[in-house]
Amino acid sequence: MDSKKALKIIELLDNFIKNPETELEYSSNFELLVAVILSAQCTDKRVNQVTRVLFKKYNTPRQFASLSQAELEELIHPCGFYHNKAKNLIACAKMLCEKFNEQVPSDFNSLVSLPGVGRKTANVMLIVAFNTPAIPVDTHIFRVSNRLGLTNAKTEEECERQLTNLFKSKKDLWGKLHHLILLFGRYNCKAINPQCANCILKDYCKHYNKKG
């Protein structure tokens, strides 16, 4: 897709979506990191229900590092995959204490060195916590970008490469376009039964125009 058409899509989304921001609740970079790790395979709504209770009791790397696996599992149980998530969160908190002076690091390579932190989580931290250009790609962004024809990717990593290339002259837009496409995927261009008939992007959408 040419970048002029791609920018038109982002402009339409920007007019349509009111608050293109994360829906996770947090009050520090560490809380955000915990919430993003918990959000894998889980809705932000459920993560917020869990963290509202969790963060009242524990919300620093040192506190998380001192928790037992069983204690943390019980607190995060509703988020699913609680065994691995608890293991990673405790290991991640320990590494933050030992190597990063109890602070969440602000560069990509340090972020992905933390247990439980992959490309997507690191990129979310970059845009939300540190205002650094990145395009985190999750399942919604992967699906919507391919449907629209912004990308033609087989993996989330390839999708990220294609999006950063397509919008390479608009780095200041990266964080915002991540939230715009993600929220559009979450509420409109859903995995099952996307709302094509009333879609504001249908004139520009490869998937819709292929269907005829």
Catalytic residues: 120, 138
Q: Does 195 bind ligand SF4 (CB under 6 A)?
A: yes
- As a whole number of Å, the CA-based R_g of the chain is 18
Distance (Å, rounded) from C-alpha 136 to C-alpha 75?
Answer: 27
Residue with tokens 């229900």: 49
* Burial class of residue 112 (count of CB atoms within 10 Å of its CB; 0-12, 13-18, 19+): middle
- Is residue 82 within the footprint of ligand SF4 (CB under 6 A)? no
Q: Which residue, 170 or 202, has its beta carbon nearer to ligand SF4?
A: 202
CB of 8 to ligand SF4, least distance (A): 13
Angle (CA) 48 96 38, round 5°: 25
Kindly tell me which of 55 and 208 has the beta carbon lying closer to ligand SF4. Answer: 208
Q: Is 207 in the site for ligand SF4 (CB under 6 A)?
A: yes
- Contact between 40 and 86 under an 8 Å Cβ cutoff? The reply is no
Question: What number of other Cβ atoms are within 10 A of residue 199's Cβ?
Answer: 17
* Residues of span 126-155 touching ligand SF4 by CB under 6 A: 147-148
Q: Which of 73, 202, 210, 212 binds ligand SF4 (CB under 6 A)?
A: 202
Q: What is the DSSP letter of 20?
A: -
Six token digits for residue 42: 């889980």
Min dist CB 104 to ligand SF4, Å, is 34
Q: Please choose, out of 55-63, 66-74, 133-141, 187-195, the segment that lies near ligand SF4 by the rule CB under 6 A.
A: 187-195
Residue with tokens 């995060």: 76
> Among 55-63, 74-82, 110-118, 196-204, which window interacts with ligand SF4 (CB under 6 A)?
196-204
Interface stretch with ligand SF4, choices 46-54, 120-128, 157-165, 200-208 (CB under 6 A): 200-208
The amino acid that residue 101 corresponds to is N
Which residues of this protein are in contact with ligand SF4, per CB under 6 A?
Answer: 147-148, 188-189, 194-196, 199, 201-202, 205, 207-208
